[in-house]
Chain A
Amino acid sequence: MIEPETLEALVVALRNRGYRVLGPTVREGAIVYDDVGSAAELPVGWTDSQDAGSYRLERRDDEARFGYAVGPHSWKQFLLPPRVRLWQAKRRNGGFEVEEEPLDDAPLAFLGVRSCELHAIAIQDTVFLEGRHVERDYAARRKDAFVVAVNCFEPGGACFCVSMGTGPKVGAGYDLALTEILEGGHRLLVEVGSERGGEVLDELPRSAPEDADLEGAERAVSGAATRMGRTLDATDLHGVLARNLEHERWDDVAERCLTCGNCTMVCPTCFCTSIEDVSDLAGESAERVRAWDSCFSLDYSHIHGGSVRRSGRSRYRQWLTHKFGTWHDQFGTSGCVGCGRCITWCPVGIDVTEELAAIRSNKEANDGDD
Chain B
Amino acid sequence: MATSPSAEAPTAPGATAPRPFRVARRRRETKDTWTLELEPLQGDPLAAAPGQFTMLYAFGVGEVPISVSGDSTGPLVHTVRAVGAVTEAICRSKPGTVLGVRGPFGNPWPVGIDVGLDVVIVAGGIGLAPLRPVLYHVLARRDEYGGVALLYGTRTPADILYASELERWRGRFDLHVGVTVDSATAGWRGRVGVVPKLVAGASFDPASTIALVCGPELMMRFTARSLLERGVPADRIYVSLERNMRCGAGHCGHCQLGPTLICRDGPVYRYDEVAAFAEVPEL
CB distance A303 to B247 under 8 Å?
no
Alpha-carbon gap, A263 to B59, bound state (A): 35
Alpha-carbon gap, A86 to B247, bound state (A): 11
Distance in Å from the Cβ of A299 to the closest Cβ of chain B? 8
Q: Are A293 and B250 also in contact (CB < 8 A) when A134-B11, A245-B283, A314-B283 are?
A: no
CB distance B20 to A95 under 8 Å?
yes
Q: Are A173 and B243 also in contact (CB < 8 A) when A96-B20, A277-B63 are?
A: no
Of the candidates B10, B60, B98, the one whose C-beta lies within 8 Å of that of A95 is B98
Q: Are A133 and B11 also in contact (CB < 8 A) when A326-B256, A330-B259 are?
A: yes
CB distance B1 to A277 under 8 Å?
no
Judged by a CB distance under 8 angstroms, whether B261 is at the interface is yes
CB distance A308 to B244 under 8 Å?
yes
CB distance B98 to A94 under 8 Å?
yes
Question: Which residue of chain B has the shortest Cβ distance to A133 in the bound complex?
Answer: B249
Q: Return the CB mask of B51-83 against A: 1 if under 8 Å, else 0.
A: 000000101111100000000000000000001
Of the candidates A95, A96, A293, A317, the one whose C-beta lies within 8 Å of that of B254 is A293
CB distance B254 to A301 under 8 Å?
yes
Contacts of B256 in A (CB 8 A): 295, 318, 322, 326, 330
Judged by a CB distance under 8 angstroms, whether A211 is at the interface is no
Contacts of B186 in A (CB 8 A): none
CB distance B244 to A303 under 8 Å?
yes
CB distance B260 to A329 under 8 Å?
yes
Alpha-carbon gap, A86 to B259, bound state (A): 28
Contacts of B244 in A (CB 8 A): 300-303, 308
Distance in Å from the Cβ of B233 to the closest Cβ of chain A? 23
CB distance A98 to B20 under 8 Å?
yes
Judged by a CB distance under 8 angstroms, whether B6 is at the interface is yes
Contacts of A142 in B (CB 8 A): 1, 5, 7
Distance in Å from the Cβ of A328 to the closest Cβ of chain B? 8
Judged by a CB distance under 8 angstroms, whether A132 is at the interface is yes
Question: Which residue of chain A has the shortest Cβ distance to B59 in the bound complex?
Answer: A96
Contacts of B280 in A (CB 8 A): 245-246
Judged by a CB distance under 8 angstroms, whether A206 is at the interface is no
Contacts of A277 in B (CB 8 A): 57, 60-63
Within 8 A of A (CB), among B1-43: 1-2, 4-7, 9-12, 15-20, 22, 41
Judged by a CB distance under 8 angstroms, whether A143 is at the interface is yes
Contacts of A106 in B (CB 8 A): none
Contacts of B61 in A (CB 8 A): 277, 279
The binding surface of chain A is classed by DSSP as mixed
Distance in Å from the Cβ of B263 to the closest Cβ of chain A? 10
Question: Which residue of chain A has the shortest Cβ distance to B19 in the bound complex?
Answer: A98
Q: Are A89 and B1 also in contact (CB < 8 A) when A94-B98, A133-B15 are?
A: no
Q: Return the CB mask of A112-156 against B: 1 if under 8 Å, else 0.
A: 000000000000010111111111100110111101000000000
CB distance B16 to A87 under 8 Å?
yes
Number of interface residues of A (CB under 8 A): 69
CB distance A134 to B243 under 8 Å?
no
Alpha-carbon gap, A35 to B242, bound state (A): 43
The binding surface of chain B is classed by DSSP as loop
Judged by a CB distance under 8 angstroms, whether A193 is at the interface is yes
Contacts of B243 in A (CB 8 A): 301, 303, 308
Contacts of A310 in B (CB 8 A): 282
Distance in Å from the Cβ of B230 to the closest Cβ of chain A? 29
Q: Could you say which of B61, B254, B260 has the most chain A C-beta atoms within 10 Å of its C-beta?
A: B254
CB distance A98 to B17 under 8 Å?
yes
Alpha-carbon gap, A244 to B164, bound state (A): 49
Q: Are A279 and B60 also in contact (CB < 8 A) when A98-B18, A100-B17, A133-B11 are?
A: yes
CB distance B59 to A89 under 8 Å?
yes
Of the candidates A89, A143, A147, A272, the one whose C-beta lies within 8 Å of that of B253 is A272
Contacts of A245 in B (CB 8 A): 277, 280, 283
CB distance A95 to B264 under 8 Å?
no
Judged by a CB distance under 8 angstroms, whether A187 is at the interface is no
Within 8 A of B (CB), among A299-327: 300-304, 308-311, 313-314, 317-318, 321-322, 325-326
Contacts of A97 in B (CB 8 A): 20
CB distance A135 to B251 under 8 Å?
yes
Judged by a CB distance under 8 angstroms, whether A38 is at the interface is no
Q: Are A273 and B251 also in contact (CB < 8 A) when A133-B15, A194-B1, A286-B60 are?
A: yes
Alpha-carbon gap, A86 to B283, bound state (A): 30
Judged by a CB distance under 8 angstroms, whether B112 is at the interface is no
Additional 19 contacts, C-beta under 8 A, given A133-B12, A145-B1, A300-B244: A95-B98, A100-B17, A125-B5, A130-B5, A131-B250, A132-B264, A136-B11, A143-B7, A273-B252, A277-B63, A279-B61, A283-B59, A283-B60, A308-B244, A310-B282, A314-B281, A317-B283, A318-B256, A325-B259
Q: B residues bordering A, Cβ < 8 Å? A: 1-2, 4-7, 9-12, 15-20, 22, 41, 57, 59-63, 83-84, 96, 98, 100, 242-244, 246-247, 249-254, 256, 258-261, 264, 277, 280-283
What 10 A-B pairs have minimum CB-CB distances, sorted nearest first? A95-B98, A329-B259, A194-B2, A279-B60, A272-B253, A314-B282, A133-B249, A139-B7, A143-B7, A326-B259
Q: A residues bordering B, Cβ < 8 Å? A: 86-87, 89, 91, 94-98, 100, 125, 127-136, 139-140, 142-145, 147, 172-175, 193-195, 197, 245-246, 271-275, 277, 279, 283, 286, 290, 293, 295, 300-304, 308-311, 313-314, 317-318, 321-322, 325-326, 329-330
Selected A-B contacts with CB under 8 Å, 17 pairs? A91-B59, A95-B41, A96-B59, A127-B250, A128-B251, A129-B5, A131-B264, A133-B15, A134-B11, A145-B1, A174-B1, A272-B252, A277-B61, A295-B256, A301-B254, A326-B259, A329-B260
